[in-house]
Amino acid sequence: MSFTTSDGLRLDWQEEGSGPAVLCLPGLTRNGSDFDELAAALAGRVRLIRLTLRGRGRSDRDPDWQNYNLMIEARDVVEFLDFLGLPQVTIVGTSRGGLIAMVLAATVKGRLAGVLLNDVGPVLEAEGLGNIMGYLGTAPTVKTYPEAAFALEERMGARFPWLSPGKWLSLAERWFDQGPDGLVLNYDPKIRDALAAGFPAPDAPAPDLWPLFDALAGLPVAVVRGANSDLLSPATVAEMARRHPGLIEAEVPDRGHVPFLDEPQALAAFDALMAEVGKG
């Protein structure tokens, strides 16, 4: 299914299940398929809605790369909620999606019933950002999905041990498309330009995102961290808990950036969040 933004881009979305509305927002280069594991684990017991942001997956590319920014993407989400007729929703935000959720808390807080932040917080570690910039926008050199699966395991296997060859293959099929001459990125490579434009110089202070996190005050909030994450540190989670009493915390072993959300720890955090949302 598709939804058209106010500036004319068609965004891909899908939904399944029934019950309380949960909107899933994927990471920087990802798409709605990143919530396949969560959808399978929940087995239809919530109304799970997945929105693929502009420039990713089957959503339209933006002719102006400068529109790949958090404020425009948050605006897209609000327009999408209006399109669905949803006055309020719980958001599961993976990485970039979690940052968008915090922007929404700072701008249209009444539209949020609760938020789950998947391996993201108001401090983004330099190591993780550097690793993202290391691959972002780079066209794959491999031609086949098995080759891509091998390359992914080489790059990510230390942070995601014990994944089966079949799982690595499924991730390759999720993150790349088949082009006429081999595999291609399934997101707009100009997203790199947008991120680089806001990427602080080595000697510059990182943007202060704590005010965005603090805007979540009063809302049920959960944070899921991969134990091997290079983007979200334990120290940041501890400060998040100090600032947000009642924060639901989960750490998933053998996962880096980002957990798949079907792990027992992640599902327990999701259930605890939805229980808190239900009280409201």
> Tell me: the pLDDT tens digits for 210-256?
999 999 999 999 999 999 999 999 999 999 999 999 999 999 999 99
pLDDT digits (tens, 9 = 90+) for 117-126: 999 999 999 9
Residue 67 lies in a domain: yes
Domain count within the chain:
1
* Neighbour-count burial of 192, counting CB atoms closer than 10 A to its CB (0-12 exposed, 13-18 middle, 19+ buried): buried
Range of the domain at 25: 2-128+206-279
N- to C-terminal Cα distance for the chain? 31
pTM: 0.97
**Owner of token pair 């005010």:** 211
In a domain, 11, yes or no: yes
Report the CATH number that the domain containing residue 32 is assigned in CATH.
3.40.50.1820
The answer to whether position 145 is within a domain reads no
- 49 part of a folded domain: yes
- Residue 202 pLDDT greater than 70, yes or no: no
Cα–Cα dist 227/61, whole Å: 34
15 assigned to some structural domain: yes
The rounded Cα 38 to chain-centroid distance in angstroms is 13
Cβ(267)–Cβ(41) below 8 Å: yes
